[in-house]
């Protein structure tokens, strides 16, 4: 290995270790008990928040033997975390209080109805939390409540939509989630600028709610949150589908089943006054799930954007069904491998400002291949059967 290549690997390892270790040191609670809250969501009538209580050894701040060794020690502290089962957690928000206990994995779930209306001039609101022990361990959660300026709800997949994880291959996914350098995880240029444009809307001040779903485990929440911050992707609750339940006898994640569909249905019920934009990819079950959502909520979905990462026969059938459902509901579907085609369509619907398309193209860095074609739902298969070397860019309306 050449000296320059060795230095590159050392730098990459240092970045990865720092990313994995940083949340450990900032989350340390008193006497080794940590109260970790994940971003929550809600409406003016009810809020939802998930977190975890665990114990870990205190950092050895008095030892100064190099950044990499310190990061490795902190990662070791993370691995040796011990869940706290049955811990009493108290949440207070807008005059209301709720007491819950942590489950067998140390997680707690808050569903609280405020007694007083939350302030209307902000989207993010603090939730006071503490573990009721002596002395108490205090923390603070954050929940997103849409303001009156919001115009639509965005629900986006994360895996192979925002960042490339390769969820079709679970071993590849595990490697990319836990080992791959976070700096290179955005697989789709322009996606961060596109999501920023959707968040602010065509007026620039809407603050539309961004809800993300992922097949990843809760255990990498803080790392994924740091990844979003690193790439300036708008913050939002990252709503993982389930705990993986990993063990030495079961080293791969359990099946997600219909959890994504149920989760999106709950979001639509919570934000019943907002139309929705769905973003996913063609590689897994997003077309199938989104078709069911569009059929169950006609007129509610403004647009469905599917990032084209697979053209297998099974995926094409699911995309055909989605196209038929979208057409029947009077909505529109964009299938493309790049963010620019989606952005151009979103600007045409008034979801983003037209000037944002140029910024998205600049972040994209290259001119996407092919032209955008408008096709009928029954023409989708033929459009996807074209030259496989050129990623399709089609709109179904």
Rounded-to-integer distance, Cα 224 and Cα 177, Å: 9
Tokens 């994209």, residue?
364
User: Max Cα separation, the chain?
Assistant: 68
Burial class (CB in 10 A: 0-12, 13-18, 19+), 249: exposed
Which residues lie closer than 8 Å to 203 by C-beta, 6 or more apart? 149, 353
Structure tokens at 256: 């997600």
Q: What is the pLDDT of residue 182?
A: 46
- Whole-angstrom Cα distance, residue 341 to residue 337? 8
pLDDT at 240: 74
Walk along the chain (397 residues) in steps of 10 and give the mean pLDDT of each run. Answer: 59 59 58 86 93 78 61 64 90 96 93 92 94 88 94 89 57 48 56 94 95 78 77 84 45 55 91 94 82 92 85 74 90 88 94 93 70 84 71 83
- pLDDT score recorded for residue 21: 59
Phi, psi of 91 (to 5 degrees): -120, 140
| Measured distance CA(153)–CA(237) in Å, rounded | 12
Residue 82's pLDDT is: 80
Domains and CATH numbers, the chain: 3-144 (2.60.40.10), 153-396 (3.40.50.1000)
CA angle 267, 270, 273 (to 5 degrees): 105
What local confidence, expressed as pLDDT, does residue 217 receive? 72
Could you give the dihedral angle defined by the CA atoms of residues 103, 106, 107 and 110, in that order, rounded to the nearest 10 degrees? 70
Asked if the bond preceding 135 is cis, omega within 30° of 0, the reply is yes
Contact assessment for residue 100 and residue 141, using Cβ atoms and an 8 Å cutoff: no
- Cβ neighbours around 3 below 10 Å, total: 7
**Closest listed residue to residue 281, CA positions, set 259, 304, 256:** 304
Distance CA 109, CA 36 (A): 12
């Amino acid at each position: 290995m050449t000296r320059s290549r060795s230095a590159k690997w050392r730098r990459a390892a240092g970045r990865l270790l720092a990313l994995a270790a940083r949340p450990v040191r900032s989350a340390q609670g008193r006497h080794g008990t940590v109260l970790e809250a994940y971003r929550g969501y809600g409406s003016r009538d009810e809020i939802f928040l998930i977190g975890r209580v665990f114990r870990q050894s205190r950092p050895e701040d008095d030892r100064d033997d190099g950044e990499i060794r310190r990061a490795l020690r902190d990662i070791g502290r993370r691995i040796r975390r011990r869940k706290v089962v049955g811990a009493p957690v108290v949440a207070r928000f807008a005059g209301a209080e709720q007491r819950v206990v942590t489950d067998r994995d140390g997680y707690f779930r808050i569903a609280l109805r405020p007694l007083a209306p939350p302030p209307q001039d902000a989207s993010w609101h603090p939730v006071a939390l503490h573990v009721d022990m002596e002395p108490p361990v205090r923390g603070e959660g954050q929940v997103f409540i849409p303001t009156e300026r919001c115009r639509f709800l965005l629900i986006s997949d994360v895996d192979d939509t925002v960042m490339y994880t390769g969820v079709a291959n679970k071993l590849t996914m595990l490697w990319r989630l836990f080992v791959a350098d976070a700096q290179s995880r955005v697989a789709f240029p322009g996606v961060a600028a596109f999501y920023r444009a959707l968040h602010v809307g065509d007026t620039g001040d809407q603050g539309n709610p961004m809800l993300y779903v992922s097949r990843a485990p809760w255990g990498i929440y803080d790392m994924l949150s740091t990844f979003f911050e690193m790439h300036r992707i708008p913050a939002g609750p990252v709503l993982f589908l389930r705990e993986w339940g990993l063990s030495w006898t079961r080293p791969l994640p359990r099946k997600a089943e219909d959890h994504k569909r149920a989760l999106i249905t709950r979001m639509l019920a919570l934000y019943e006054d907002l139309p929705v934009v769905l973003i996913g990819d063609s590689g897994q079950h997003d077309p199938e799930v989104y078709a069911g959502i569009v059929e169950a909520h006609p007129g509610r979905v403004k647009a469905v954007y599917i990032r084209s990462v697979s053209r297998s026969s099974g995926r094409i059938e699911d995309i055909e069904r989605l196209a038929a459902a979208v057409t029947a509901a009077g909505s529109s579907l964009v299938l493309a491998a790049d963010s620019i085609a989606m952005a151009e369509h979103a600007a045409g619907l008034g979801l983003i400002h037209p000037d944002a398309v140029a910024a998205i193209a600049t972040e994209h860095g290259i001119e996407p291949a092919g032209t955008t074609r408008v096709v009928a739902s029954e023409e989708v298969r033929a459009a996807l059967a074209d030259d496989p070397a050129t990623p399709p860019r089609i709109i179904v309306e």
